[in-house]
Structure 1
């Protein structure tokens, strides 16, 4: 039995803590704020409740596995999972709309053909087949195994397959999402549909590797899920599982550095000068927020990522029957959106995701509705100047929206930074292959013996399922040692 100090109470860190406690270790989690969950938070006012982080859960099997491996009580016994159907409604720049069913290739093909014209569905369906090939090639090394020592192989190899072109009598391999849209989808609306999966994680489709095709495939293959009461309920369930496994939580404890002794991690130093000894340290926070010994440097490159702006709307009037849980309102000017988010361009309206959960627990009564608008913005920006533009964009999907607003709450990158400690409120994206390794995250082991990394800033990157996977990988490495090669 060893003493393990976990820095941060985010989802990845708590997933690691629960697994390590079950393995017989004495685990203490040190969290600088007064609650758990990292970015998975809730805002409540006047009987309304909103998720302020992720609003939907892809790949719930990750958390089912966590609960199976850490006790006899399955995930469905502690939270209510609801498969969202339709998966999403899309409102494109030209006014075209399409509603896509959840996890149904045939249904998606039919819906796209009816909305965008004959052939559109087949092109998207063919793309999903190629995306599955990329998924099959990258699933284990990017999600189920510790980051390979020769990670450069993942950085250089593009897993998205080339496409034969009869007229050209040769094959052509897309290297970015934008090239997939232009060469293979050949419809600005289909390209916008593809790009929206990148923009949801703050990724620029013009430079994001084609391997990011796995993002829409993951949603298509495994469905989109909601947790009744909001995603905060999932954070609560993981926290309570940790407590039941005798994980100790110390809130209001801001870690500032990892202690080193005799060439290995020896504990944690806090902002008030106090320390806590440990045999193993798991860092579940952004690397920039914590001083580490120089030996802990990782060779994998890291790039800055955008943050998010969330506008919470308390509405008079109930949620109309048949309303889609998620509507994606695509930017009127995609080029201006990308220049504003990733380049020198001025602030411009971007793609806005409108979340309208069918959940009575989030509203004071049936005569009201709780709606969240989410859009990517540059990390470190104020973002408030785009809040009204986000509401205007949402009106394209929700006519008369402004007239129904009782009050609104704007959550900026500064709020994300306050909750997570990430500089500028940056939100990490999932790890992706190719692209010279720009979207790989540092490995779960570090250059300092006894120091491990979990959560969105470590392999396999950001997103709720990826955070849970990072916790599983760290626990495996601590328990089994460097020979651990992931789940079988």
Structure 2
């Protein structure tokens, strides 16, 4: 039985702790704040409740596996999972609207043909077939296995089978997500639908590789899910599973240093000077963690965006048939991308806004009120002003007529709030790992150059997002329990 110190209590760290504890190790988690969950938090006031981090769960199989492997109670016995249908309603710049069924290719094709015109659905359906091929080629190395030592193979090889495109007597293939939209989808609304998935992950579709096609594919293939009571309930369930497996938690404990001797991690030092001995240490990686020696050759991520979130308490009931999620696409996509990813990043004047309307009785004081969350991608470290908040509300009014007249109060969550909760500089939010692009979208390996030190969470392989953070826990636990020969779940 090894002594294991886990730094931080985000979802990746909790998943690691639960798996190691059930393997018989003595695990202690040291969290600098007073609660668990990392970015998966809840804000409550006057009987209203809001998720302040992720609002939906893709690929729930990751957490189903975690609960199967760590106890007798399955995930569904601990939280209530609800499949969101439609998966999303989209409001495009020209006023066109479409609601896309959850996990139904035929339904999506039909809905797009009806809303955007004949042929639109077929082009999107054909794109999903190619996106599936990219997913099949990268699923194991980018989600289910430790990062390959020869990771350059992933960096240099584009897994998306782009369609040949003739331009100026030359035949070319799309190398970026924006080129996929322009050359293969051939409709600005379909392109906006595609690029919106990259933007939601803080990626510039003009630079994101074509392999980013796996992002909409994951949503299409595995559906989008909501946890009744909010995503904070998932964090609670994972935390309680850790407690049931006798993981010790020390809150308000900031780790300032990983201790080492003779090339091996030997414990951690807390802000008050207390030293905790350990046989293994699990730390956050990259931007969210302590400097980690020898994280591998993958270059550190730079210049990642954050999120601006506006929580709205509304008078009046949620109308019957309201979509859980609506994406209001900007009318100035180039301006939005230049603001976010230009030389001097700035908050877009006209952002793409996601509107979440859960319709969950647990989040409102009674049936005559509604809790609505608005979200947009903004630069990390951005100073949020009133005009930025108003831009989100103005965009949301395209999806929620009469919105302003229903507002009782609002709460604004900025990049500074994310930074305080996660420790990531400027409140940066990590994207999932993607192939190609020279390795720019890979994350450092879970193993480090210091023996006995591992990294878990969104800033380590396989990257950001709830499923990926959960998988980082499985990978780190496998590496500690089985050793460097561990190659992932079979």
Shared fold (TM-score, shorter chain, > 0.5): yes
What are the residue-to-residue correspondences of 1:145-294 with 2, within 5 Å?
Answer: 145-164=145-164, 172-284=172-284, 286-287=286-287, 289-292=289-292
Structure 2 residue corresponding to 1:301, chosen from 292, 299, 302: 299
Change (3 A) 1:165 1:389: closer
Distance apart, 1:54 and its partner CA: 0.2
Task: Give, in whole Å, the separation in 1 of the partners of 2:58 and 2:5.
Answer: 29
Q: Does 1:465 align with 2:467?
A: yes
For residue 434 of structure 1, what is the aligned residue in structure 2? Answer: 436
Contact residue 417 and residue 427 of structure 2 kept, 8 A: yes
TM-score (norm 2): 0.97
Query: Structure 1: how far apart are the matches of 2:282 and 2:171?
Result: 46
Q: Deviation string for 1:111-167 (max 9, x for gaps)?
A: 101111111101000100000000000000000100000001100000000314589
In structure 2, C-alpha distance between the alignment counterparts of 1:188 and 1:73, rounded to whole Å: 46
1:89-488 residue pairs with structure 2 within 5 A? 89-164=89-164, 172-284=172-284, 286-287=286-287, 289-292=289-292, 295-304=293-302, 305-343=304-342, 344=344, 347=347, 348-384=349-385, 385-488=387-490
Between the aligned partners of 1:70 and 1:170, the Cα distance in structure 2 is 55
- Structure 2: gaps spanning 5 or more residues: none
Q: Is the 8 A contact 1:88 1:324 kept in 2?
A: yes
Deviations along 1:172-208, whole A, 9 cap, x unmatched?
A: 4211100001100011100000011001111100000
Number of matched residues?
Answer: 486
Output one character per residue of 1:55-98: Cα deviation in whole Å (capped at 9) or x when no partner.
Answer: 00000000000000001100000000000000000000111101
Q: Secondary structure at the match of 1:318?
A: coil
Change (3 A) 1:136 1:297: closer
Counterpart CA distance in 2 for 1:280 and 1:346 is 41
Please, which moves more after superposition, 195-204 or 230-239?
195-204
Change (3 A) 1:141 1:402: same
Tell me how far apart the structure 1 counterparts of residues 15 and 169 of structure 2 sit (CA, whole Å).
Answer: 50
C-alpha displacement of 1:288: 5.6
Q: Which residue of 2 aligns with 1:17?
A: 17
For structure 1, list consecutive stretches of 5 or more residues without a partner in the other structure. Answer: none
Across the aligned residues of Structure 1 and Structure 2, the Cα RMSD in angstroms comes to 1.4
Work out the CA distance in 2 between the residues paired with 1:21 and 1:209: 38
SS at 1:445's partner residue? Answer: coil
Per-residue CA deviations over 1:16-46 (Å, capped at 9, x if unaligned) read 0000000000000000000000000000000
- Is 1:430–1:461's contact at 8 Å kept on the other side of the alignment? yes
